Structure 1
Amino acid sequence: MKQSDDAGLMNNYFDPNSMCTEEDFRLRFQMRRHVFERLLCDVQQVNPYFQQKRDRAARPNFSPHQKVTVALRMMAYGSPADSMDETHGMFESTCLNTVQEFCDTIVQLYKDEYLRQPNQEDMNQLIHKAEERGFSGMIGSLDYMHWDWKNCRIG
């Protein structure tokens, strides 16, 4: 089942002749294809868990594409781990392990660049963007509890 699931995933989204357009890919994965490919390459280089392996019967195990896809689906859509068996042929325990490995690897890879305290330049960019969008004074007041929400039935 693993090989057919991987073949379907590759055929649908990653093969050069797939029917999936860039926009389809972005809607399905919540990111551009080149970003996915960068993530895939980066996690494979840092963590052997994301490299293709063979099981005890010498059959290919889950592919790196499958593992990263499952981790991203679970996080982006809140998909439960037990639902991945039906769509990707991966049992719940393997899915949970995959998400843990993926998260640990992402933190290891990108913490210095993306998971850090903002510096003054970052803050200036955030303030400028917020002001352009009508959210002046955003920094320091992220809860927005003072706003009247049009569709909120509380209060």
Structure 2
Amino acid sequence: MADEMTAEKAGAFFHTYSEAFAAYDLDRVMDHHDHPLTVVTAAGPQVFPEREQARAFLGAQMEAYRRLGMAWPVPAAAITVAYNHDLVRAEVRWILRSRDGEGIAGWTTIYLLRRAETGWKLAIVVSPEEPQALAALGTPGPASPAV
């Protein structure tokens, strides 16, 4: 299939996602997400049925990263498993780096990507470590679970 999610395509997808976060470009970050978007953390699941709800959540998340001093979120490792041609599970180890390249935080996030009409989209995000990591650094994320 022409648009099959290969390991190389997953790497490219998360690289462009990382670039959007590094640029603090909310529109580009939003382009990577499906709607509705479901986010699950240890605090529980949250569904953002409307695009604007997801936009507000992701904007608050980006502000938490800005306060932390993040210049570049590096997708250090990605493992993908294709369930079929339209659903792929990806596990990504993120390392957040400062402007001088120092690692300031890191965690693993699990994603379910769905093939949409406009390409692959993040439909479900499971982030068991991120909220605690941000809080431990004194930079709480959004009021709701973090991505």
TM-score > 0.5 by shorter chain: no
Q: Which has a greater percent of helix?
A: 1
Q: Which has a greater percent of strand?
A: 2
Q: Could you say which structure has the larger radius of gyration?
A: 1
By relative contact order (CA 8 Å, sep 6+), the higher-ranking structure is: 2
